[in-house]
A and B are shown apart, each in its own frame.
Chain A
């Protein structure tokens, strides 16, 4: 994987855990729809053939030394992208549910809108209206969860978000800077929105298609759904209530210094200094 050259450099990251059956087609699909962008598969210590399958499909691999969970995995990808100097990162899940054909649309919106995050939303129609959850192949528990979190997030974010649990997201370099230092470790999607809101960052949604899972099966059970709701709710409120001293002091420092250049070594030093703060999402 080469260092990025242009100001609009894009890296596509694919967090994967035991996705041997789907990851190769995901990588091939991404490379087909975004030919110039390198694809980085972040392997969360899979015990199947995820790594050889992804490598054979043409992806670069970032293997984790032990199982970190989704948030730790995604954050590692954000850290590497920030250090290498990429301007934009789009995350695609390794199970094949996200359609890579939607990546150019997310990328375009990232570049043109100037907002820090673009979410690929399953519940947003092309004309900007909401898709009814009942008509979008969503299970009962998930339907309830999404409705619940929409209601919780609306007053916190100051606006509605159609698909707060979507993992199909693109971020720019400002968000990369924040996420490489602080990112929720478990179930990161919803908390990441609150982390962005705390920095007065903006996000937008673009409609995307969601495909049914082709291989493996979802690890979300009814009990885990309940745990998910409690965990994320707690994480959201902790993020709302906390005052991130490190962030505010670093903001004050950075306002006195010129901004780090894209493609330089500034990110490497930032990653090195992340230390105890890295990986700390909920606890920040």
Chain B
């Protein structure tokens, strides 16, 4: 049990350092690193504070402590994946809208260029 908690603590620390380095190097934007940091710190606290983990186990009615830690960690990461799916969906929608807008603007530009080359005096008349 202690070895398991030590391993979880070690992994949490590695993840925490990795996230902080990634933020520092701007590999992850700060707003997206918050979820990782909260999850990592939560698992770190649970793995070190045995009374809290025991309280969570009793509250959830689970039979043993390692299972509690495992389920808690899994739940946290499932929530994170859900959050990232929402973010990715928004980004994809924005990306498609931008691509469509770019294509339409290029179309209008080509049309305007064609009209201008057909009637070079058009701009002079407009001004």
Contacts from A to B (Cβ < 8 Å): 1, 60, 62-66, 68, 72, 75-76, 79-80, 83, 185, 271-272, 274-276, 278-280, 283
From B97, B100, B103, A276 is in contact (CB under 8 Å) with: B97
From B11-19, B55-63, B88-96, B119-127, the one touching the partner chain is: B88-96
Inter-subunit contact B104/A283 (CB<8 Å): no
Bound CA span A235–B1, Å = 46
Inter-subunit contact A80/B111 (CB<8 Å): no
Counting chain A CB atoms within 10 Å of each CB, which of B89, B96, B107 scores highest?
B96
Judge whether B50 is part of the interface by a CB distance below 8 angstroms.
no
0 or 1 for each of B63-103: is its CB under 8 Å from A? (1 = yes): 00000000000000000000000000110011011011111
Q: When A276-B90, A283-B89 are in contact, do A80 and B96 touch as well, CB less than 8 Å?
A: no
- Can you give 20 A-B contacts (C-beta < 8 A)? A62-B107, A63-B106, A64-B100, A64-B103, A65-B102, A68-B96, A72-B96, A72-B100, A75-B100, A76-B103, A80-B104, A83-B104, A185-B96, A272-B101, A274-B97, A276-B97, A278-B93, A278-B100, A278-B101, A283-B89
Inter-subunit contact B103/A271 (CB<8 Å): no
Bound CA span A185–B100, Å = 12
B87 → A minimal CB distance (Å): 13
Inter-subunit contact A271/B104 (CB<8 Å): yes
Residues of A within 8 A of B96 (CB): 68, 72, 185, 278-279
What's the interface size class on B, roughly? Answer: 10 to 19
From A1, A271, A276, B101 is in contact (CB under 8 Å) with: A271
Residues of A within 8 A of B90 (CB): 276
Inter-subunit contact A65/B99 (CB<8 Å): yes
Residues of A within 8 A of B93 (CB): 276, 278-280, 283
Residues of A within 8 A of B101 (CB): 271-272, 278
Residues of A within 8 A of B106 (CB): 63
Bound CA span A279–B91, Å = 11
